[in-house]
Amino acid sequence: MESNAAPMAVSYAITLVAGQSDRARAREAAGMAAQTGMAQTGTGPDARQFHDGAGPETVITVSGLVKRYGDVEAVRGIDFTVARGETFGFLGPNGAGKSTTIKILCTLANATAGTAIVAGHDAATERDAVRRNIGLVFQDTTLDTYLTAEQNLRFHAELYGVPRAAVLPRMRQVLEMVGLWDRKDSLVSTYSGGMQRRLEIARGLLHAPHVLFLDEPTVGLDPQTRSSIWAYINDLKKREDITIFLTTHYMDEAEHCDRIAIIDHGKIVAIDTPEALKASIGKDRVQIHTADDQRAIAELTAKFGIEAAVHDGAVTFSVASGEQFVPRLFTEFSVPIQSVSVSRPSLDDVFMSYTGSTIRDAEGGAGNEFMRNMAKMRSGGRR
């Protein structure tokens, strides 16, 4: 039962901003020093001393996490940790289990089995404590578009119990960070999609959370806006002591992460830094367009002992050195070749190597998106 899926902030309206270290962080961030008069009560966690058994610098610890929706096993026993200050990404195609995992970490869904500790608190049994410590930015906008940006942020501040004197300086800080301070009095309905996403990020940061969860932060945005969102996120990492957990199915987005977990069919198949994952492949990727792909695949196996398959419309295979192999291809191959491309290992190759398909193939185009939307509708529009 997903009884805790109502707008989460409501359940802890006017609880305060957690403990001493949170107050210090918010105060420091807002540049307000002592005059803020922030609440002196609260038992929230010390940012530096999480009690998850995995060391004080571990902010998220997930063990044996499973989530079933009836017969669908969306998450099939995953384990990972995220260190304080890391930007950690879940990379996988639609339907891989990313949103389900993030929902469990954010206390918006119950796990079927396993545990998730976030900022020192159990996401299943200490929901309010987890919620005080996290900020959320989900794909589907939850802004009130008939209100101004400032009204949206003030409402959020109220729900999270941000001390009144701290609201304006903190609001100014987060809105300046995402380049929207000048537009704070505009109705959100007049904002572009990119501006709305930036405002969501600002709102997610308003209460100075320890962990910011971003579910597909740039999906549906144009490339320029996507790169500007990433400029804001990277800037944020420099300014605030924050851990970021994000999900994405964009390879270039995964490149921004300190570490990524590749998730496929509900399982983590690889986890490391993007560089280490690429190095683990150790091979160049060759793609050829031919007059007869099936004959080309058979000939690659027969003549060179190479396993090839059609991916993204081209015969694709890996060799130790593409530069040395391609000349041989032209002299020894009987199938006419129309074009050749050779690339160093990318995250695409990593994904293919660990899952057996490219992320685009794995997503299966529009049909899969349809299934995903159906699943969303089944879950009452929630993700």
Q: Is 13 or 72 the residue whose CB approaches ligand ADP more closely?
A: 72
Which span (97-105, 186-194, 270-278, 344-352) binds ligand ADP, by CB under 6 A?
Answer: 97-105
Q: How far is the CB of 369 from ligand ADP (least distance, A)?
A: 10
378 in contact with ligand ADP (CB under 6 A):
yes
Among 19, 44, 45, 97, binds ligand ADP (CB under 6 A): 97
Amino acid (1-letter code) at residue 163: P
Q: How far is the CB of 123 from ligand ADP (least distance, A)?
A: 16
92 in contact with ligand ADP (CB under 6 A):
yes
Q: How far is the CB of 81 from ligand ADP (least distance, A)?
A: 20
Q: Is 271 or 329 the residue whose CB approaches ligand ADP more closely?
A: 271
Among 74, 91, 111, 157, binds ligand ADP (CB under 6 A): 74
218 in contact with ligand ADP (CB under 6 A):
no
99 in contact with ligand ADP (CB under 6 A):
yes
95 in contact with ligand ADP (CB under 6 A):
yes
Query: CA 58: distance to chain centroid?
Result: 18
Query: CA 223: distance to chain centroid?
Result: 17
Among 47, 59, 78, 96, binds ligand ADP (CB under 6 A): 96
Which span (123-131, 186-194, 353-361, 370-378) binds ligand ADP, by CB under 6 A?
Answer: 370-378
Q: How far is the CB of 57 from ligand ADP (least distance, A)?
A: 28
Residues 6+ apart with CB under 8 A from 79: 62, 63, 64, 65, 268
Residues 6+ apart with CB under 8 A from 137: 197, 200, 201, 203, 204, 212, 213, 214, 215, 217
Backbone angles phi, psi at 218, to 5 degrees: -120, 15
Q: Is 62 or 96 the residue whose CB approaches ligand ADP more closely?
A: 96
72 in contact with ligand ADP (CB under 6 A):
yes
Find tokens 């289990």 and name the residue.
97
Q: How far is the CB of 359 from ligand ADP (least distance, A)?
A: 11
Q: In whole angstroms, what is the distance from residue 183 CA to residue 192 CA?
A: 12
| Helix H or strand E segment including 215 | strand 211-215
98 in contact with ligand ADP (CB under 6 A):
yes
Widest Cα–Cα separation across the chain: 80
Q: Do the Cβ atoms of 160 and 17 come closer than 8 Å?
A: yes
The full DSSP string for 227-251 is: HHHHHHHHHHHHHS--EEEEEES-H
Q: In whole angstroms, what is the distance from residue 86 CA to residue 241 CA?
A: 10
370 in contact with ligand ADP (CB under 6 A):
no
Q: How far is the CB of 262 from ligand ADP (least distance, A)?
A: 11
Among 69, 181, 304, 354, binds ligand ADP (CB under 6 A): 69
Q: How far is the CB of 72 from ligand ADP (least distance, A)?
A: 5
Q: How far is the CB of 73 from ligand ADP (least distance, A)?
A: 8
Question: Is residue 11 classed exposed, middle or buried when 0-12, 13-18 and 19+ CB atoms within 10 A define those classes?
Answer: middle
Tokens of 61: 């610890």
**Sheet of 309-311, strands arranged across:** 309-311, 314-319, 284-290, 337-343
Residues making contact with ligand ADP (CB under 6 A): 69, 72, 74, 92, 94-100, 372, 375, 378-379
